[in-house]
Amino acid sequence: MTKTVYVAGVAALCLLGIGLHAIDAHAAGGDWKRGRVYYQKVCTDCHTAKAGGAIAPNARTMADWTAYLNADKHAKGKDSLRNYASREYRASVKGTNKAAEKYADVPDEQLFNDIRSFMLKGAKDGDSPASCN
Amino acid sequence: MGVRICSALAIAAMLVAAAAGGADDGASDKVLKSTSDHAKFKVLQQEFASGPEVTRACLTCHTEAARQLQLTQHWKWEFLNPDGRRLGKKSIINNFCTSVASNYAYCTTCHIGYGWKDDRFDFSVQENVDCLICHDTTGNYRKAPGFAGHVVTQETEFPPGSGNRLKPVKLGPIAQEVARTSRDNCGACHFFGGGGDGVKHGDLDSSLASPDKSLDVHMDALGNNFACATCHMTAGHQVPGSRYAPTAVDRGGARLRGKEYKTNPTTCQSCHGQAPHKAGAAKLNDHTDKVACQTCHIPAYARGGVPTKMSWDWSTAGLMGLDGKPMVRKDAKGRVVYTAAKGTFVIAENVVPEYVWFNGRVTYTLLGDRIEKGAQPTRINHFEGSAGDNRSMIWPVKVFRGKQAYDPLYKSLVVTHMAGTDDTAFWTNFNWEKAVAVGMASVGAPFSGKVDFVETESMWPITHMVAPAKDALRCHDCHASGARLEKVAGIYIPGRGSDHSVWLEVIGWALAALALAGALVHGTGRIAAARRRH
């Protein structure tokens, strides 16, 4: 009897797991708040130090950002933008960057999607234009 | 066997937690946060033409929500002070944009309701409660000034004829994503009090939407990530911790679950208790009976890169530039410090607070109270307290100084009709007499027809932007000449300039020298005696 309950529990968990992943696949929107934190604490940290200052989402339009994000060329084409949202990059800076540490295990595609949501939403013609403040 | 079932269930529960926690993805986070996915509710799967339509849909399930809201200060904008006077946004006059009366359609952009456009607003209509302003999670819900709290759902030119087009807000997707409140929700109004980002409070601005630890240890987006409601523990939509009902002194301990408390839960003590400092720094615990936690733990406000207004002189408003258009002046950093509509401002960042004794009582100067133009500024509000009343603590405050319109014959503050597309609004015609006449008439108050300007002062408690312990004040920040608490009267603060007394120090050092000499003489005697014995 105990065993039955246990097996039923495990089976339920598996189903729940499948459920979660099914929802996950449909979560196209992206978590803009997580995107915001990553953008501010990882992207902007480096831009302030090495790119002559912060780059505000409202500096460009949604169409510009969509093209930029799809092209995946960063810093005047020198490297890949996706690289800076990757788990590999996060692992390399997590000793000194708390956002990279906190989000160390978030799947690449998901985090990139979060950043995309934040940038599009904050674009000049986005739903809620965001400066760097 | 019951026990075994229990342990099986416990293991299952642990596995659920592990599975969900380990997944660390947005979707499972969402499942764990709420048992309802609002996108699945038929009633929300529609395009709404107005805010009240959304509220009607919300109320089909949350049947009592509007009635709860209608009992709150957020809805009424009214507060009865312990001294019997009626306060709240609805009736006070401050030294920022001055008054809500006669400017409803603009000020009520930040009301949690729809349609409060004049003093005939019906506070009993349930569908006029705005659910989305507090429960939107998309960050896309906006209410534009001038629409009495209504949301614009079709592209609209505003003001009419200006060429300025407002983008419509799509309510359906927003309604489908509602959830608990976050800093972004509260911040949509409270970060922008006084007419702009960070203007009013100094310790509340948009930098707190996603702050780091150095700005606020509690709200740190990568750490504790507190929502406002974590401290402002809300029950039945009643949000505790209003500045109209401040708790200056909390002698209670840290709160326990299951116990019922009647007092304000937003105080530091309600979590940290009365002796929060560790053994190595236990001396600090001797301070907690007289010094508010905020005094040491918020070394400065406006620390997030957003300046706050420190003073506002309305008397200079109305200047036109050479082009005949309302003048605007900016400082070296490009920040606005003068506009024809509002006058001259001083703005500042990283501001060291002023410190006062505060016992929780606040007195106000209201419309009709007699005021004199003189050497002392009129106190729009004032924190009461003293060293001797045994009910006060030393608190950090922002003192906001201004010069604003008053009636020099009736000697009263005035209601000014600031905003509006009509020809009497000050922001349209820049004529004080006209604007005040309409403002005063709107509240049925007498007006002599003359306008002059009087210096005013208001106080704001500094209580957010709590810094990490390493950045808290050190002993010498107060215990030294010219230090922070120099002007706080009625208490002896060792080391403070005003507490230096030459004769007291001479006596002190003389006693110390005598004690040392005594010990040396006694010690030498003992050694000599011991030698002799051998």
Q: Which residues of B touch A (CB under 8 A)?
A: 1, 4-5, 8-9, 11-12, 15-16, 19-20, 23-31, 138-140, 142, 167, 182, 184, 197, 206-207, 209-210, 212-213, 221-223, 305-306
Q: Let me know if residue B55 belongs to a domain.
A: yes
Cβ of A128 within 8 Å of Cβ of B221? The answer is: no
Do B129 and B104 fall within a single domain?
Answer: yes
Per-residue model confidence as pLDDT tens digits over B304-342: 999 999 999 999 999 999 999 999 999 999 999 999 999
Helix H or strand E encompassing B79: strand B79-80
Mean pLDDT of B94-110: 95
Q: Which of B24-38, B472-486, B497-511 has the lowest mean pLDDT?
A: B24-38
Q: Which of A2, A110, A133 sits opposite B26 (nearest CB)?
A: A110
Helix (H, G, I), strand (E, B) or coil at A89: helix
Contacts of B418 (CB under 8 A, 6+ apart): B97, B98, B102, B103, B106, B425, B426, B427, B435, B439
Query: Do the Cβ atoms of A40 and B5 come within 8 Å?
Result: no
Residues B75 and B91 grouped into a single domain = yes
Q: Is B341 within a domain?
A: yes
B222 to A17: CB separation less than 8 angstroms, yes or no: no
Per the structure, the count of domains in chain B is 3
Residue B11 and residue B60 in one domain: no
B412 and B359 fall within a common domain: yes
- Comparing CB atoms, the residue among B8, B9, B23 nearest residue A20 is B23
Residues B95 and B136 in one domain: yes
B74-86: pLDDT as tens digits: 999 999 999 999 9
Tokens of B424: 């009497």
What does residue B64 show for φ and ψ, rounded to 5 degrees?
Answer: -105, 0
Residues B23, B46 within the same domain: no
Contact B25 A106 (CB under 8 A): yes
pLDDT tens by residue, B294-304: 999 999 999 99
Predicted complex: ipTM over 0.95 = no
* CA distances from residue B521 to B150, B188, B218, B528 in whole angstroms, order as listed: 86, 72, 56, 11
* Domain range enclosing B408: 309-495
- Predicted confidence at residue B19, as pLDDT, reads 45
C-beta atoms of B27 and A20 within 8 A: yes
Residue B346 belongs to some domain of the structure: yes
Q: Nearest C-alpha of chain A: how many angstroms from B431?
A: 35
Predicted confidence at residue B25, as pLDDT, reads 56
- Residue B17 binned pLDDT confidence (cut-offs 50, 70, 90): very low
Chain B positions touching A99 (Cβ under 8 A) are 222
* pLDDT value at B458 more than 50: yes
Specify the residue for token string 């505060």.
B358
Closest CA to B318 of B342, B352, B334: B342
Same domain? B105 vs B162: yes
Q: What is the mean pLDDT of residues B426-448?
A: 97
State the Cα–Cα distance between residues B351 and B354, nearest whole angstrom. Answer: 9
Of A16, A23, A105, Cβ closest to residue B16: A16
Do B7 and B150 have their domain in common?
no
Residues of B in contact with A10 (CB under 8 A): 12, 15
With beta carbons less than 8 A apart as the criterion, state whether B343 and B313 touch.
yes
Same domain, B8 and B40: no
Whether residues B10 and B134 fall in one domain: no
| Alpha-carbon gap: B256 to the closest alpha carbon of chain A (Å) | 30
A2·B1 Cβ contact <8 A: yes
DSSP H/E element including A101: helix A98-102
Say yes or no to pLDDT of B18 above 80: no
- Cβ contact B16–A13 (<8 Å): yes
Residue type, B187: G
| Residue B516: inside a domain | no
Q: Which residue of B has its CA nearest to A13?
A: B16
B6 and B71 housed in the same domain? no
CA angle A112, A118, A124 (to 5 degrees): 130
B27 to chain A: nearest residue by CA? Answer: A24
For A22, nearest residue in chain B (alpha carbons) = B27
Cβ contact B207–A133 (<8 Å) = yes
Interface contact flag, A133 B31, Cβ < 8 Å: no
* Pairwise CB contact (< 8 Å): A23 & B221: no
For residue B305, the chain A residues in CB contact (below 8 A) are 133
Domain ranges of chain A: 1-30, 31-133
The one-letter amino acid at B86: R
Per-residue pLDDT tens digits for B199-254: 999 999 999 999 999 999 999 999 999 999 999 999 999 999 999 999 999 999 99
- Tell me, yes or no, whether B329 and B435 share the same domain: yes
Pairwise CA distance, residues B20 & B378, whole Å: 58
Do you find a cis peptide bond into B159, omega within 30 degrees of 0?
A: yes
CB nearest to A133's CB, from B213, B223, B306: B306
